Amino acid sequence: MCGRFSVTLPNDAMAQLFAAQPANALPRVPNFNVCPTNAVHVVRSGETGRQLLPMRWGFLPHWYKTENGGPLLINARAETLAEKPAFRAACRDRRCLLVATGFYEWTKDAEGNRMPWYIHRRDGAPIAFAGIWQNWGKDDPNPTCAVVTTAANLTLSAIHHRMPLILEPDDWPLWLGEAGKGAAALMVPGNEEVLAFHRVARDVNSNRASGAQLIEPLPA
């Protein structure tokens, strides 16, 4: 799954990387502790090309009467994405990319304490999570999104059984619907050599924590 992540790439660099037109009110960066319900950086494709814009992380199906009208849907399983009533229309017509630098996962020690790990690309490049989006609300629609997840590859299975679906640049056009159909073929665990991870301090267990020290490796 994906429950917390970081994003440190400047907004103008994001727009250039994804060849997207940036919105005026993008979330502030760097943010080393992006939490559910925060505004996140999302790339989507439209009639005028790609857009980089903010969305609420927490997908809201149209039948939710309030933002708390049901479970908090920050993740969507790739295996059932096309079948779940909440996600199937978005899977077909509203796919997007969420921009990140790295993400966190947790294991537990013998006493049951939550031990955080920071996961990032070995090459230091930004990460593009596969996502889906949905406008929610009638009078003033609020764009919302979820990260698509898949079974963990062997690299990450040591710390968790799920992981975000990470897409390489060559796959972005297909996921965004710019290169025809066939995006379902992308919904598999990523290359074993792409990601690395290290233990970080438990400060990040708090959703109020901030700062670059959150991603620093613990001393050996």
SS3 174: helix
Q: Which run of H or E residues covers position 89?
A: helix 88-93
**Placement of tokens 């992981």 in the chain:** 163
**Among 207, 217, 205, which residue's Cα sits nearest to residue 114?**
205
- Cα–Cα distance measured from residue 54 to residue 197, given in angstroms and rounded to the nearest whole number: 27
The β-bridge partners of 106 are: 116
For residue 185, tell me if it sits in a domain. yes
Considering only CA atoms, which of 141, 162, 174, 7 is closest in space to residue 75?
162
CA atoms within 13 A on the CB side of 29: 18
The pLDDT of 18-25, averaged and rounded, is 97
**pLDDT score of 31 more than 90:** yes
| Location of structure tokens 């979330």 | 27
Q: What is the CATH number of the domain that holds 151?
A: 3.90.1680.10
Rounded Cα–Cα distance for residues 116 and 189 (Å)? 21
Amino acid at 110: A
- Per DSSP, the chain holds a count of helices (H) and strands (E) of 3, 13
220: in domain: no
pLDDT for position 202: 96
Count Cβ neighbours within 10 Å for each residue of 47-72 and write b for 16 or more, e otherwise: eeebbbbbbbbbbbbeebeeeeeeee
Whether 163 maps to a domain, the answer reads yes
Q: Which domain holds residue 164?
A: 5-215
Tokens linked to 192: 């074993």
What phi and psi, each to the nearest 5 degrees, are found at residue 120? -150, 165
| Cβ atoms of 96 and 132 closer than 8 Å | yes
Residue-level pLDDT at 97: 98
Average pLDDT on 7-36 reads 97
Residue 140 is predicted with a pLDDT of 85
pLDDT tens per residue across span 38-86: 999 999 999 999 999 999 999 999 999 999 999 999 999 999 999 999 9
The answer to whether 103 and 159 have CB atoms below 8 angstroms apart is no
The pLDDT tens digits for 107-148 are 999 999 999 999 999 999 999 999 999 999 988 899 999 999
Domains held by the chain: number: 1
pLDDT at position 190: 77
Place of tokens 């947790």: 106
Would you say residue 175 lies in a domain?
Answer: yes
pLDDT of 220 over the 80 cut: no
pTM for this one? Answer: 0.96
pLDDT of residue 139: 82
Per residue in 142-172, pLDDT (tens digit) is 999 999 999 999 999 999 999 999 999 999 9
183, with CB counted inside 10 A (0-12, 13-18, 19+), is buried
122: in domain: yes
